[in-house]
Amino acid sequence: MGADGVMYRSDIAVTIFLSAPEEYDGGELVICTPSGQHEVKSAAGDALLYPAGSIHRVEPVTRGERLVAVTWVQSMVRDAARRELLYGLNLAREKLLQTAPDAAETAQVNAAYLNLIRMWATFDADTMKTSDLSIEEQILRAVKLTLAGVIKDTATPHGMRHPLSDGTIQDMRQCLALISARERELAEAAGRPIGGRPGFTDEPKQQDRVIHFYKKKPDDEV
């Protein structure tokens, strides 16, 4: 996604259901996975994340109206196979953190998971080069990556107390929101459009074409 030098991969597809299931018949989102087909028809407000490269379709709507919002997310890990390995490892990691948080094996699995993310994660490879940014933009990016690293390194499974206080977490969220807003302002001021249709970083750029239309002259004027 993106354009004019600011490109993002569409690794993860996100479907947000806006209509309640009882408001329409049919319309199931069918996703094909190695384990088979999965049909999803969730409540309004639910969001479903799935690999953007997976084959999927929507069953015909036979009654009512089905409304959804769709967007895409770039993962920190580019390779889909590595993301799948990390997903499986994280499931085991979260279970160990819940059942045996003080065990040496838990610490080893947790360290392996975090080190693999550090090894495989890429933050800047598919976006603008740091040398192309202003000093302020470089500072904002460095602070954002630092905050993201703290959040990642202190992540805890659902239900466990986070090592950071609620106030600190809220402050970090506010900092990230302010950084994103300022980055957008600087990009717009520099004439770099933000957003765009989904695409791939290696997708060839399309050239603008101007089509001229001429009113056909009557036969007696030819």
Domain that holds residue 95: 77-122
Cα 83 from Cα 116, distance rounded (Å): 10
> CATH number, domain at 26?
2.60.120.620
Domain count, the chain: 3
What pTM was computed for the model?
0.50
> CATH number, domain at 115?
4.10.860
pLDDT tens string 14-60: 999 999 999 999 999 999 987 889 999 999 999 999 988 889 999 99
Structure-model confidence comparison of residues 44 and 167, the more confident one: 44
3-state helix, strand, coil in the chain (%, to 5): 40, 20, 40
**Residues 12 and 66 grouped into a single domain:** yes
| Residue 136 covered by a domain | yes
Lookup: tokens for 117: 């993310």
C-alpha to C-alpha distances, 213 to 62, 202, 216, nearest whole angstrom = 41, 33, 9
**Residues 45 and 92 grouped into a single domain:** no
Assess whether pLDDT exceeds 50 at residue 183: yes
| Residue 99 covered by a domain | yes
Could you tell me the sign of the dihedral formed by the alpha carbons of 136, 194, 128, 169, in that order? positive
Residue 4 CB partners (closer than 8 Å, separation 6+) = 192, 193
pLDDT tens string 100-128: 989 999 999 998 998 888 888 764 433 45
| Residue 198 covered by a domain | no
Residue 213 CB partners (closer than 8 Å, separation 6+) = none
| Residue 66 covered by a domain | yes
| Residue 103 covered by a domain | yes
User: Can you give the pLDDT at residue 199?
Assistant: 44
| Residue 137 covered by a domain | yes
| Residue 37 covered by a domain | yes
